[in-house]
Amino acid sequence: MTVIDLVTLGEFVGREIATSEWTAVNQDRINAFADATDDHQWIHVDAERARGETPFGTTIAHGFLTLSLISPLMRNAVSIGSSRMTLNYGLNRVRFVSPVPAGSRIRARFTVGKVDDFGESTQVTWDVIIEREGGDKPCVAAEWIVRYYPTATSASSSPHRGAQQ
């Protein structure tokens, strides 16, 4: 686990700061996501058909399932100190580069792309690569925007207040 204080996060722009632990993407997780999103396309939930009709030989995770795991993968890899609240602010770019077959393990690499001060919050654009164990290409490449709201003491002591990185 990488621990970085919100006040000094701007010093890490352009640097990969953490890699998460491996996380399993099994068929139960894929089925639960299909139920939650009402996306039961056969390539995700019909193992027999996927075995015979896809080049993957098995079902694959929804791209949005893999994308949605960014947040727990981040919590597994990075702790931002002096932050009282964190909000997912959205995404700039997302590419689903390669599939995640059922039974795979994935992890994420986090690079600080940009840090912007908004007075009441600090916005970080994370460059995130999700990779599959044994894969030769990333599964997902994304620019993820997160807003961090500082504790009262860190808000008044930030050297980056008013500056944009």
Check whether 70 has a pLDDT greater than 60: yes
Per-residue pLDDT, 153 = 72
Check whether 77 has a pLDDT greater than 90: yes
Residues near 152 by beta carbon (within 8 Å), at least 6 away in sequence: none
Confidence of residue 157 (pLDDT cuts 50, 70, 90): low
Per-residue pLDDT, 162 = 38
Per-residue pLDDT, 152 = 82
CATH of the domain at 83: 3.10.129.10
- The pTM of the full predicted model, rounded to 2 decimals, is 0.91
Task: State the sign of the Cα–Cα–Cα–Cα dihedral 59, 63, 65, 67.
Answer: positive
What is the average per-residue pLDDT within 39-53? Answer: 98
Check whether 165 has a pLDDT greater than 50: no
Per-residue pLDDT, 76 = 96
Cα–Cα distance for residue pair 29/44, rounded to 1 Å: 11
Please check whether residue 98 lies inside any domain of the structure. yes
Please check whether residue 47 lies inside any domain of the structure. no
> The domain containing residue 71 runs over which residues?
2-23+63-157
Please check whether residue 110 lies inside any domain of the structure. yes
What is the average per-residue pLDDT within 129-140? Answer: 98
Per-residue pLDDT, 164 = 40
Counted domains in the chain: 1
CA 17 to chain centre: 13
8 A C-beta contact, residue 23 and residue 73 = yes
Please check whether residue 43 lies inside any domain of the structure. no
Please check whether residue 90 lies inside any domain of the structure. yes
Please check whether residue 52 lies inside any domain of the structure. no
